[in-house]
Amino acid sequence: SQQGEEDPQALSIQEGENATMNCSYKTSINNLQWYRQNSGRGLVHLILIRSNEREKHSGRLRVTLDTSKKSSSLLITASRAADTASYFCATDPKGGNEKLTFGTGTRLTIIP
Amino acid sequence: EAQVTQNPRYLITVTGKKLTVTCSQNMNHEYMSWYRQDPGLGLRQIYYSMNVEVTDKGDVPEGYKVSRKEKRNFPLILESPSPNQTSLYFCASTVWGAYNEQFFGPGTRLTVL
């Protein structure tokens, strides 16, 4: 079953602009993770936010989590062509990683 | 280099011909998992393993088998592949426990004719 649903499904922006992607989920979580996937390749972990955290930063990435709304957002600032990829949120209900559930992803295209 | 490897990377086969996709990690991770990725459906977990000889079903286990005889290896077995198993498969591993990222292999693109 799909736990996370990303919005929008696809996003195109100019290089240098900020990109925001949203993730909604259905059940309670221990943590939420964001991954990036370049076309046809394996996923790469970007950032993890715990259920008791509201915001987290890593370089040009900013993640927020609102557990009352069961939603998260990923902001990429000052986008670059290399950021072109699909982005997935993944929810971990218990914290042990054994039942990580991925959303359907947002396809981000950065226009040079 | 720390990595998860999968073989083969590409495979075209016919219905009913048994196949095995291998997965190996060199990070001494306890936890390993298999996912399939289909357009519009994201990644769905097939099976996972918490440690040697410990495996459990994910969300879509039908038609698949796994084994975990060694810590580093977690092969995915399709005893009688069918066309609906045509997909992109990923193996992942992590240190068991909370707040740990999963490391993914490069993927295996399987086509069943």
Which pLDDT tens digit goes with each residue over B1-23? Answer: 889 999 999 999 999 999 999 99
Confidence check: pLDDT of A2 > 60:
no
Query: How close, in Å, is residue A42 to chain B by CA atoms?
Result: 5
> Is residue B104 within 8 angstroms of chain A, CB to CB?
yes
**What is the dihedral angle through the alpha carbons of B67, A43, B42, B93, rounded to the nearest 10 degrees?**
20
**Chain A residues within an 8 Å CB radius of B39:** none
Residue A75: HSE in the Cβ half-sphere, 13 Å Cα cutoff: 11
A43, A50, A99: best to mutate for the B interface, most B CBs within 10 A = A43
> Is residue A112 within 8 angstroms of chain B, CB to CB?
no
Measured distance CA(A44)–CA(A36) in Å, rounded: 5
- Residue among A40, A98, A102 whose CB faces B31 most closely: A98
Query: How close, in Å, is residue A80 to chain B by CA atoms?
Result: 23
Task: Indicate the pLDDT class of residue B97, thresholds 50, 70 and 90.
Answer: confident
